[in-house]
Structure 1
């Protein structure tokens, strides 16, 4: 339990700093907006380009990633349907709901948990790429089309779909990283070092912005009752249904070895990534459900991660 707890400490500290800064009014009323846009348009694309460009070919050709991806797809699709039909969210709102249910905090939490529980973070690196290159484009496409319709603007389906990578810095940075990785070339240090510095600011800045949003309060859209129900569904699917789905695929269906099964379940049990909050804020959506899902799932997963490690880990 102490290993898992130590991995959560930076999350709570940085979020708490953001809350204290917001409560004290140190950065002004626009701090959350400015920091959120910095993360989305500058720091996160830099981090993703650096990460993806250094990936090795064949990263996705691993049975453990297939099991993780199947669990993610099943739970995310279920979450999208529930938020769309049961909570009356539009396409964009349901996309954030699906993200809250199935997009794991693989970077700032997954890496330390994997190192301390699994012994290395190689599988987490594959999950990061899976989410960046496959899951994020789907979510961002739904957000883009959903907010386009919400604004009452005419649909430009094919053109907007084709130009989305150019207009979205996260997808663009990921695709550029894939192109660099495919060529086998290494960018010069004069380029990679500044990007490393910028990328290192993505996670802490996102957490500080998350803390600022806690002080600001809910962003509207749904009342406390409906939002609590949304949070409960998202957290339940994220911390219980996703690791269970991954276990069923990796264990009974695929028969993966014990160490691979443990890795798949542990990584699937990680809490909701703060990216859900960042995306909701960037697209002008109600940030309350995403923010609450991040915070509550992070707390609950401290228990579920420990239980998974105890149940599936080496007995000796």
Structure 2
């Protein structure tokens, strides 16, 4: 349990710092907007580019990733469907509903949890590749279309990678990796330093968004509850069913798949909702609530599937 707490601590501390910054007015009224745009347009693209240039793109083509992907698609699809059928959300908001239900916090929480519980973060690295190269472009394309940024026909949609800094940085990083090319140290080091600012700044921005917000109504609480149940319960159970029953994964691989599927919603959902001018309430509350709930569900997963000795 202590190892899990050490992974969760940065999330709570940096979110609290963000709340205090907003409450004191230290950075001014526009700080949340400016920091949010900094994360989306500068720091996060730098982080993804740096990560992908040093990654092996063939690592996520395996049966364990297939089980994880199945759980992700199932939970995300149900989240999208719930946004449409139960809560009558607009198309762009449905994309955030799906993301809140199925996009795991693989970076700042998944890596420390994997190192502490699994002994290494190799599977989390594969999940990062899967989410960055496959899931994020789909979500961003839906957001682009749903908010009107995709108007202009097929040509404008095909230009999405160029217009979106996250997709463009990911694509460039993947191309360099596939070609076996590396940036010179004089460029790679500044990029890594800039990318390192993405997660803490996103969490501080998340904390700032908590200040001055009224409590969610019954409908909002219900929507957050559905997203959290899908994220922390349905997604790991779906991954368990596919990995254990259909693919018959070895126990250590099954533990990695289910544990990572039980990770809470990533703060990327909040970052994307803010950048596209959507309500951030669902994304913000899903991140915070699922992070709290997952402290228990991750412990249960390890108790059920972890080593017996």
TM > 0.5 between the two? yes
| 1:173 alignment partner in structure 2 | 169
Superposition pairs of residues 145-294 of structure 1, within 5 angstroms: 145-148=145-148, 155-217=151-213, 224-294=217-287
Tell me the TM-score normalized by structure 2.
0.98
| 1:23 alignment partner in structure 2 | 23
Q: Distance in 2 between matches of 1:157 and 1:72?
A: 29
Quote how far apart the aligned CAs of 1:314 are: 0.4
| 1:36 alignment partner in structure 2 | 36
| 1:127 alignment partner in structure 2 | 127
User: Which runs of at least 4 in structure 1 moved beyond 3 Å after TM superposition?
Assistant: none
| 1:65 alignment partner in structure 2 | 65
Q: Distance in 2 between matches of 1:101 and 1:288?
A: 14
Q: Distance in 2 between matches of 1:164 and 1:44?
A: 17
Q: Distance in 2 between matches of 1:155 and 1:14?
A: 37
Deviations 1:256-284 (A, max 9, x none): 00000000000000000000000000000
Matching of residue 106 in structure 1 with residue 106 in structure 2:
yes
| 2:76 alignment partner in structure 1 | 76
Q: Distance in 2 between matches of 1:5 and 1:243?
A: 20
Q: Distance in 1 between matches of 2:92 and 2:73?
A: 17
Range with greater deviation from structure 2 (48-57 or 227-236) = 48-57
| 2:50 alignment partner in structure 1 | 50
Distance 1:57 1:98, change over 3 A: closer
Q: Which runs of 5+ in 1 are unaligned?
A: none
Deviations 1:87-120 (A, max 9, x none): 0111100000000000000000000000000000
Asked if the contact 2:203/2:267 (under 8 Å) is kept, the reply is: yes
Quote how far apart the aligned CAs of 1:216 are: 3.3
Quote how far apart the aligned CAs of 1:225 are: 1.3
Q: Distance in 1 between matches of 2:83 and 2:220?
A: 11
Q: Distance in 2 between matches of 1:131 and 1:312?
A: 24
Q: Distance in 2 between matches of 1:92 and 1:312?
A: 37
Q: Distance in 1 between matches of 2:236 and 2:206?
A: 25
Q: Which runs of 5+ in 2 are unaligned?
A: none
How many corresponding residue pairs? 309
Quote how far apart the aligned CAs of 1:217 are: 1.2
